[in-house]
Amino acid sequence: MKISVIGLGYLGATHAVAMAKLGHEVIGIDKDVSKVESLLAGKIPFFEPGLAEALAEVLAQGKVQFQTSHSESSASADLHFLCVGTPQAADGSANTSYLDAAIDDLAPHLSPSAVVVGKSTVPVGTARKLRDRLQEKTGFEPKLVWNPEFLREGTALEDSLKPDRIVVGSFKKEDSFPLLVAYEKLLQAGSPLVELDVPTAELVKVAANAFLATKISFINAMAEIAEVAGADVVALSKAIGYDERIGNKFLRSGIGFGGGCLPKDIRGFISRAEELGVGQALSFLKEIDGINNRRRQRVIELAKQELGELSGQKITVLGVSFKPNSDDLRESPSLEIARSLAQAGAVVTVTDPKALPGLSDSQLSKVSDVDQALRGSELVILGTEWDEYRRLDPLKSKSLVKSATIIDGRNVLDVAAWQSAGWKVIALGRTISND
């Protein structure tokens, strides 16, 4: 099938490559000239494991092309996927203006038989507004369905090619048929199909993210209790996770969630519920956000307890991306901690296997070599649990630092091994004896 993918960020670039890998003829469109040039040159403008190799493959097969605006070719697509951003507006709501602009750009090129497929994460009710806007601009009744995306950065391509579910919301069931044809291989491979009305499909995505955020903040709230009660949140998490109704995934305490989705999506959800007059239903999500932000603050407190005055103290932060296997810095908890420490006067060095090129922050010293980053440090903070940092040799690392104290912001280090190498280990939600 012929497919256009509008918006080529983390979601759209991955989706374009995945659709081409499924054998479709894909035209990716983004207003950002540098992104399009980069993709045409076979370079993914961000880090995502396996995506560059897959892009090279589909470019060589002539299955994908990239451009900055619609053309005769994209106008003849059977499906147009909307993958533009829906960032947080100043008041916390989701900014859907990029979707409006994408619809306005598409309208003059849309054929009545083509299906517009929304994939961006949106406040419930957005799809209907977009459909009305499209109808007004085209003068015909457009086919629009909603197909929220559940890919996770770090495993995005795999998630796109083996989705754990395919959710499709439609105003008229038959409008979704071409999409199901496009996804035939995925459905045949066993991905479950969930067919819904449009508002439910829109809600599935934000509800899923609200639940995941809640699970993380729940265990981080337990960490707050464990810290004052002399308990151990890691052991607690393991013990409650054995209960299948609870499960152990997304139940690891640490410095909390970040990224381009969870924080903005829960705030957008709160805002939409308030608009709909049911704000109370989601007031708990404000606390979820609050718990998440308090964990970052807790690391600053621990650093102060350890170093006293922060001014002039040399601190190394291991990892600045919001999670491992990604270079995404959006709402990164680790980066926010590094910035707060620098603002308090500390001399902060940050290191990261992939995210440093995207970081322009004059307050932070960027060092790509981890040994170099550790040299002379008076406090080390593990902020993002890249494998490189989990596997660090504590003995060698001790020989590099000035003072062997580490705050394990992700509860991933082997505390006994680090202690026996002479380190003082501080962790969130755990009472660790360093005597």
Ligand X SMILES: NC(=O)c1ccc[n+]([C@@H]2O[C@H](COP(=O)([O-])OP(=O)(O)OC[C@H]3O[C@@H](n4cnc5c(N)ncnc54)[C@H](O)[C@@H]3O)[C@@H](O)[C@H]2O)c1
Residue with token string 């992104």: 35
407 binds ligand X per the rule CB under 6 A: no
11 binds ligand X per the rule CB under 6 A: yes
CB of 149 to ligand X, least distance (A): 4
- Specify the stretch interacting with ligand X by CB under 6 A; choose among 57-65, 146-154, 221-229, 273-281: 146-154
Strand order in the sheet with 193-196: 64-67, 25-29, 2-6, 79-82, 115-118, 143-146, 166-170, 193-196
Helix then strand then coil, in percent of the chain rounded to 5, is: 45, 15, 40
Closer of 98 and 171 to ligand X (Cβ)? 98
- Specify the stretch interacting with ligand X by CB under 6 A; choose among 24-32, 179-187, 390-398, 415-423: 24-32
137 binds ligand X per the rule CB under 6 A: no
Work out whether the CA dihedral 239, 240, 243, 248 comes out positive or negative: negative
Site for ligand X in 153-172 (CB under 6 A): 153
Site string for ligand X, 311-330 (x = CB under 6 A): --------------------
110 closest CA partner among 85, 127, 131, 128: 131
18 closest CA partner among 44, 384, 86, 343: 44
Strand order in the sheet with 365-366: 365-366, 347-351, 314-318, 379-382, 405-408, 424-427
CB of 409 to ligand X, least distance (A): 22
Closer of 167 and 233 to ligand X (Cβ)? 167
Q: How far apart are CA 216 and CA 137, in angstroms?
A: 43
| Residue 283: how many other CB atoms lie within 10 Å | 12
- Specify the stretch interacting with ligand X by CB under 6 A; choose among 83-91, 272-280, 360-368, 404-412: 83-91
101 binds ligand X per the rule CB under 6 A: yes
Burial of 61 (0-12, 13-18, 19+ CB in 10 A): exposed
CB of 269 to ligand X, least distance (A): 12
103 binds ligand X per the rule CB under 6 A: no
Asked if 34 and 45 count as a contact pair (C-beta separation under 8 A), the reply is yes
Site for ligand X in 205-264 (CB under 6 A): 260-261
- Alpha helix locations (H) across 308-350? 333-343
Among 86, 170, 253, 397, binds ligand X (CB under 6 A): 86
| Residue 371: how many other CB atoms lie within 10 Å | 13
Could you tell me the two tokens for 153?
């950065």
- Specify the stretch interacting with ligand X by CB under 6 A; choose among 30-38, 53-61, 189-197, 292-300: 30-38
- Specify the stretch interacting with ligand X by CB under 6 A; choose among 56-64, 110-118, 148-156, 378-386: 148-156
CB of 102 to ligand X, least distance (A): 4
Closer of 29 and 318 to ligand X (Cβ)? 29
- Specify the stretch interacting with ligand X by CB under 6 A; choose among 31-39, 243-251, 290-298, 344-352: 31-39
CB of 198 to ligand X, least distance (A): 16
How many residues form the binding site for ligand X (CB under 6 A)?
27
Asked if 319 and 427 count as a contact pair (C-beta separation under 8 A), the reply is no
Chain centroid to Cα 362, Å, comes to: 25
Closer of 79 and 151 to ligand X (Cβ)? 151
Residue with token string 């939600």: 429
Among 3, 10, 44, 213, binds ligand X (CB under 6 A): 10
Closer of 86 and 170 to ligand X (Cβ)? 86
Catalytic residues, by residue number, are 261
Among 36, 51, 145, 151, binds ligand X (CB under 6 A): 151
Q: Taking the CA of residue 427 as centre, how many other CA atoms within 13 Å lie in the half-sphere pointing to its CB? A: 29
Q: How far apart are CA 4 and CA 65, in angstroms?
A: 10
Site string for ligand X, 32-61 (x = CB under 6 A): x--x--------------------------
Q: Footprint of ligand X on this chain (CB under 6 A)? A: 6-12, 29-32, 35, 83-86, 98, 101-102, 105, 120-121, 149, 151, 153, 260-261
